[in-house]
Structure 1
């Protein structure tokens, strides 16, 4: 296994693998993935050919929202391990040439965090309450919330708490679950603490942070009502200009290291110019491309998204990112197998017919497209196995607050978080040790035997082997690094065809019929096996070598 050598600006064209620890590998048999399980599988990830690992929160947490309710950033939750294990994992990853990225959640903390517990015990108007958004209620006796804001998870965004004497008291803001009180970034202590958290993890070798809900920490200080169907500009809590000061402070911390650390934003915005503002040279390095993730399987729409992404990033000199799935959205094998390929989770979409064969074929083609575009690519764990969304989870096994706070109107994210299958013919498919006393924390489908790592390893045509070969080729093709990119004349309007410089070409056939192979082009790799004919099959991507320079 070759150890990778990476440049200082590794994030510009890295392939980053998302590790959802709880569902990756369980070493101690309690049915929940842990750091020891991840460390044991690091050789698998290195051999897969990725450059970096992004870990969802592994910090101490009551797990009201799968760890995104952080109680202490300087401790590892015992269900995952301890700080010593985290440090050993980071060091081992580095020895294998893998960078490490961890999550930071600036919008909120856990209601079990020491700050919030102190705030609950304090009087209204106290300094510690100013770390959050405590406000008196409206109405004759303060019985109504301070404003009409709703939670992202459903229901109102305010919870009332008793005063220290037990009488009904103030309300606090939580744009997510009630267990996730929002922080008040107007208080300088909040910025000081988060910059200290960054240094804590950077000093332990972490190469970057992924910033959760990055547009939301800054709030309208007046907390005014608004109509969510016709929100004002600026929005009261999304993409306010004040938020950029937060990340300029973080960038200063990241740049203070001999090898600068990367800042990667979860930035959900419709306007490319507003997104690009987060990527200015003194703020974040990259941001997730949700327009691409949510784009339908359509040549014209994909071309528009690719063009707008590259054009929007160019003025600020930032690298684009390409992502198809993550821990928050329906897996793309399933999305691409539905008539509606968007990432919604309504009961109607959840229950829509799925053609898994078609979805798998399109997903493989989409991966080769993503990997051929300039910028960095993200792989969500299990996508290299072609895993679909698990849509038949029993309600009693679900844990996502989306499901509960919307009374099932949003089916939740558990279906994309089912533990990985590693080996064997039946659950837990090697996720937990043989004879483990506890089943996986979410039930695995009984028919996943053919999708395990062991079943696909060395199997010609498997999705795992396609990923391994594509990542190997990408690493060794100089044309696939850097920014060179130009569209070429498509053989059909339902195709995408582009060059990356040198002799490399990529052709994506998004139609349901074959299209001609470009003259003089020799296939390097295709998303499905190709017969020795001069056509590219339907729903297929092919990488090509062409004598004509790009």
Structure 2
């Protein structure tokens, strides 16, 4: 393990807010439309701040709102210091941050440092300047291989399909150099060896910190630094650490960023999107002078079952304890199939590629999703709720191909339909689409007619609804001191169940079996994901229990 720098994080005398916070992810294009064009925007978000306050979350994570051609839903950024006109204006963003703070909600925003848009002024200047120019040194331009340079510089593949290189056409019209893009051709990768790139992003961080944001979610945080030799992946001697990601030099970047964040008042936060399986290298990102937290994707990936989930929980807790960092727990986000759908299938694990049309039992998936949020909220650390999780939304799989916008569809020539099914706009009210999302007759992605029973208005009126469960759960979670930093203690449980205690008077039990099980010994049922009967915990149901007469 690489030597740890700095001491283990703060002890019990002071616990920063982010160590146990509940974050709500706002995919702004699909949250609420305030100007009637069928696309979510800042006006719609500001109008619905009361809903988020009342839900009981602590902070909002806002997906990219910057100026963008929107080839990849805003992750292709042309201007990091302004708001895309389709979403609002910079003064509106500043007003939103202030209004969120007034409502008791902190705001973290996406920063996308691995790549920009091909429409970014620095990249258009690089194209115009030609080979060997200083402008091209900010990116990864290279001559091709083979006769006439007709083959890409190496064999790297893009996440969205196809080669990770695209050939340019030089100013004189001839085929030219190739540029690297680990995602879509519209997203050229920055060269983080260049001082201009480092200085630019430090300036971007300060720009938004000066406007009051409480932190940043770092997109694909492990990809910034590449092996400068750009070797082929085939034949690479260390498959666990390929040359296109997780290079040691990335940690220097985050140490410089952390110094900037720490220079601002208050408790600001970095959360990294880090897809690193090795626990030692994963925790390197969480050292005391780097990132505060990183997403726990192993839990998101695992299937519905006690053995696998306990294994992931144990490994997560032990890994994070090495550096004193809190875990994060998440069930869905804008990049993965919604967990109501995953949990309703025969194979409940998350797969990287979406396969449409597989049989799904949405009633079963919903029951398991209700149990899963009780499990997550009972664990140490922070919790991320993707918008629509609280409504029990499922993956929309029948979006016509002509309406799908995710570049994965194009990059894989239709083999992967993309992520649009998890990005369908929220249903707020009414009996027909767009369900109050917009005053327009249609939303930018179509909503299922069946969502009429899942609207916020419909669920507000039902104390047993998914939304009511979330509100009650998050309110209760705030009142229980055991759920702050107390460790997990596994208790004796039936084979197809998990039961654990935290502190001296709290327990959580989850029944993964198809049959009811007896409730563990308790004095009070605090909350359950579904109806209980006769002292039994039904199948695919979770419960929080008071196990002593100690006041909560």
Same fold (TM over 0.5): yes
Alignment partners' CA distance in 2, 1:41 and 1:189 = 39
Q: Which whole-Å deviations, capped at 9, do the CAs of 1:305-338 have from their partners, x for residues lacking one?
A: 0000000000101000000000000000000000
SS at match of 2:155: coil
Superposed displacement of residue 166, structure 1: 1.9
SS at match of 1:544: strand
For 2:132, the equivalent position in structure 1 comes to 125
Q: Which whole-Å deviations, capped at 9, do the CAs of 1:440-462 have from their partners, x for residues lacking one?
A: 00000011111000000031210
Preserved CA contact (<8 Å) 1:53 1:99? yes
For 2:278, the equivalent position in structure 1 comes to 271
For 2:3, the equivalent position in structure 1 comes to none
Superposed displacement of residue 233, structure 1: 5.6
For 1:190, the equivalent position in structure 2 comes to 197
Structure 2 alignment gaps of length 5 or more: 1-13
SS at match of 1:447: helix
SS at match of 1:368: helix
Superposed displacement of residue 8, structure 1: 7.2
Stretches of 4+ aligned residues off by more than 6 angstroms? none
Select the residue among 39, 52, 56 that pairs with 1:45.
52
Preserved CA contact (<8 Å) 2:368 2:541? yes
Alignment partners' CA distance in 2, 1:150 and 1:215 = 16
Q: 1:222 aligned to 2:229?
A: yes
Alignment partners' CA distance in 2, 1:486 and 1:352 = 37
For 2:258, the equivalent position in structure 1 comes to 251
For 1:542, the equivalent position in structure 2 comes to 543
For 1:445, the equivalent position in structure 2 comes to 448
TM-score, normalization by structure 2: 0.95
Q: Which whole-Å deviations, capped at 9, do the CAs of 1:478-529 have from their partners, x for residues lacking one?
A: 1111243211111x01111111103111001111111111123421100002
For 2:428, the equivalent position in structure 1 comes to 422
Alignment partners' CA distance in 1, 2:136 and 2:93 = 32
SS at match of 1:223: coil
Closer, same or farther: CA 406–230 of 1 in aligned 2, 3 Å: farther
Residues 94-493 of structure 1: pairs in structure 2 closer than 5 A: 94-227=101-234, 232=239, 234-344=241-351, 346=353, 349-433=355-439, 436=440, 439-490=442-493, 492-493=494-495
For 1:509, the equivalent position in structure 2 comes to 511
Closer, same or farther: CA 220–229 of 1 in aligned 2, 3 Å: closer
Q: Which whole-Å deviations, capped at 9, do the CAs of 1:361-410 have from their partners, x for residues lacking one?
A: 00000000000100000000001000000011111110001111112221
Structure 1 alignment gaps of length 5 or more: 1-6
SS at match of 1:404: helix
Moved more, 467-476 or 155-164: 155-164
Alignment partners' CA distance in 2, 1:354 and 1:60 = 38
Q: 1:30 aligned to 2:37?
A: yes
Preserved CA contact (<8 Å) 2:508 2:545? yes
Q: Which whole-Å deviations, capped at 9, do the CAs of 1:53-97 have from their partners, x for residues lacking one?
A: 000000000011000000001110000000000000000000011
Closer, same or farther: CA 383–316 of 1 in aligned 2, 3 Å: same
Alignment partners' CA distance in 1, 2:255 and 2:337 = 33
Preserved CA contact (<8 Å) 1:375 1:483? no
Give the length in aligned residue pairs: 538
Root mean square deviation of aligned Cα: 1.5
Moved more, 229-238 or 416-425: 229-238
Preserved CA contact (<8 Å) 1:345 1:410? no
Superposed displacement of residue 345, structure 1: 5.7
Superposed displacement of residue 163, structure 1: 1.9
For 2:6, the equivalent position in structure 1 comes to none
Superposed displacement of residue 231, structure 1: 5.3
TM-score, normalization by structure 1: 0.96
Alignment partners' CA distance in 1, 2:353 and 2:140 = 31
Preserved CA contact (<8 Å) 2:522 2:545? no
Moved more, 39-48 or 510-519: 510-519
For 1:526, the equivalent position in structure 2 comes to 528
Alignment partners' CA distance in 2, 1:213 and 1:228 = 25
SS at match of 1:365: helix
Preserved CA contact (<8 Å) 2:334 2:419? yes
For 1:3, the equivalent position in structure 2 comes to none
Preserved CA contact (<8 Å) 2:486 2:503? no
Closer, same or farther: CA 493–521 of 1 in aligned 2, 3 Å: farther
Closer, same or farther: CA 245–483 of 1 in aligned 2, 3 Å: farther
Alignment partners' CA distance in 1, 2:535 and 2:15 = 42
